[in-house]
Amino acid sequence: MRDGAAPPDLEKMIATLRHRGPDGLNHLYRTPCMLAHARLSIIDLETGTQPIANEDQTIWTVLNGEIFNFIELRAELEALGHRFRTRSDTEVIVHAYEEYGVRFVERLNGQFAIALWDIPRQRLVLARDRVGIRPLFYTRTRGLLLFASEIKAILAAAPEAAVMDERGIAQIFTFWGTVGQRTAFKNIQSLPPGHLLVVEEGGDRLERYWDWTFPAGAGRSDLSLDAAAEELRALLTDAVRLQLRSDVPVGAYLSGGLDSAGIAALTAQATTKRLRTFSITFDDPEFDESEYQRQMAAHLDVEQTSVRCSYRDIGDAFPELIWHTETPVLRTAPVPLMLLSRQVRDSGYKVVLTGEGADEVFGGYDLFKEGKIRRFWARQPRSRWRPLLFSRLYPYLAHSPAANRHFAQSFFGKRLEELENPFYAHLTRWATTRGIFRLLSPEFRAALEGSSAEEELAAELPASFDQWAPLARDQYVEVKTLLQGYLLSSQGDRVSMANSVEGRVPYLDHRVIERVNALSARYKLRGLREKVLLRKALEGLVPQGILGRVKQPYRAPDCRSFFEGGAPLPYVAELVSASNLRRTGYFDPGAVEHLVEKCRTGRALGAADNMAFVGMLSTLVLHQHFLGGPPAWH
């Protein structure tokens, strides 16, 4: 609906989000609240145009994402007397708000960022899904509250908000992403997952309506593994059933690992049409999983499409990636996924199901095993055989920290005695990630004095955290850092929506999370065998060769992607030049020159050098995209 001409700022804001919704731009312009929407038509192609209102047009909403249980919720609301005008999942929002107030979000099963305007109460409600699959940002400037699905839309109306946040950057250089409400921009906040922001005359109110939580102590352990797996399989089947709701074709990603294989198998089982799957392959055999992809595709008899990714493909597309992420990244892994989503869109698909989230829910990462071994070793720190268990970790890394026994004991033995530290399992990884701090300029270091990324994260921990089992604590920290700050954003929403593709993640259905979180750690990590419960639940659906694979995380070539013929790519050379480094002010030219030379000559072998290079380069690209002028981060 259009209600008068939109002001220029609103038009500029929504125009920047055309990639998120190329099927139509629309707006509601009524002071004091203006709503705009860029539509990606997936459900109710004919009558689902947004903004959408209730019967008397006193409540309006826009939705980025999907409400998967809209059919059931609509039936419930109709039985209570509500009348619907469309077949859209979005319309349930206004009626559920009428019926249940701001707690309507608790009845939604979906992935969403919602803005709702209540005219009689003059109340604005912003809401974000439980786990943070869809983004939502906001700022206050010049007496306005501006909000959008991406930061660039806010900057289109408020360019003065383009000020880098040195503490946000420090969090990224530690955790891979920001935590809480912080972003890479000082004056722009993220609405945290599982939260509402209610804005009305009495003031703003930030409310948490959901969080990852775990039982005090060990958790439930009375179920047999078979019984627990049967329950899980039923839940996953229903999650996939709901997430297949669409009026356009739905495909699936197939990486070659267990997680995507399970979703693809459940999807193929739930559909009558032949499933279309999409995969990435690499020239570099260290990262390529095409053999496992072929095995799974043949097992399911799906129509398989693969995108081959070279070093140069990654290097060339990297600046475009950072335009979409709006944050520095420490790995190039999002780039191939962005190229893959382009192939998905070119193949006529707008929706794909992915296997993201399984490692966090079911205890899949080597980091969880690392924490278990470190705690075991710490009980007898003089033991010579206990640290030998580290040799079973990171078998997929060409330069694994566990490969050399003496190095492994030194590396994993750091801060071994800090058993009460809430971040115990993460300390070694963060120490490696923070290697990028050696590149920072003296001015940037001075701006960080008195701040601590770890203390800022500790302030976000729930009161019950100390009562949870060690694995539960490790999972929660992983969710609040890597999953929310990086995997669901830079490697998730941003790279799929860059090409107008909606990714859906059944493993992160909140019912699955709540059910598995209630269980004892032995259903997840048994000895050093990860994802025990998920493997059991997927028996018979996934070939044994994939079902029994040791976890190998998705990765892509890093610093090697930015050099060709012994020289950096032209844009890289310009960004890392001493003159540009002095002008931007983030990094020390001498330290960067030393690292660039290591990368150029192929001597940057470990994770620390690769992350430092990619983090440094992505920060410079981010500055070029959104600041351009002299440094504005202090």
> Do 304 and 277 form a contact (C-beta atoms < 8 A)?
yes
Q: Are 419 and 378 in contact (CB under 8 A)?
A: yes
- Segment holding 181, helix H or strand E: none
Write down the pLDDT at residue 633. Answer: 37
| pLDDT of amino acid 629 | 59
CA quadruple 175, 180, 185, 190: dihedral positive or negative?
A: positive
Alpha-carbon distances, residue 10 vs 28, 38, 347, 472, 491 (angstroms): 10, 12, 32, 44, 28
Query: What predicted TM-score, i.e. pTM, was given to this entire model?
Result: 0.96
The candidate with the shortest Cα–Cα distance to 38, out of 137, 117, 175, 148, is 148
Residue 1: the pLDDT is 32
Q: Which domains does the chain have, with CATH numbers?
A: 8-208 (3.60.20.10), 225-361+481-547 (3.40.50.620), 559-626 (no CATH)
Q: What tokens appear for 634 in the block?
A: 């202090």
CA distance 133 to 63: 13
Beta bridge partners of 60: 53, 117
Angstrom distance (rounded) from CA 536 to CA 551: 15
Taking only the tens place, the pLDDT of each residue in 168-180 is 999 999 999 999 9
Answer whether 489's CB lies under 8 Å from 177's CB: yes
CA distance 278 to 353: 10
Coil, helix or strand at residue 325: helix
Q: Which residues of the chain have pLDDT under 70?
A: 1-6, 396-400, 402-403, 629-634
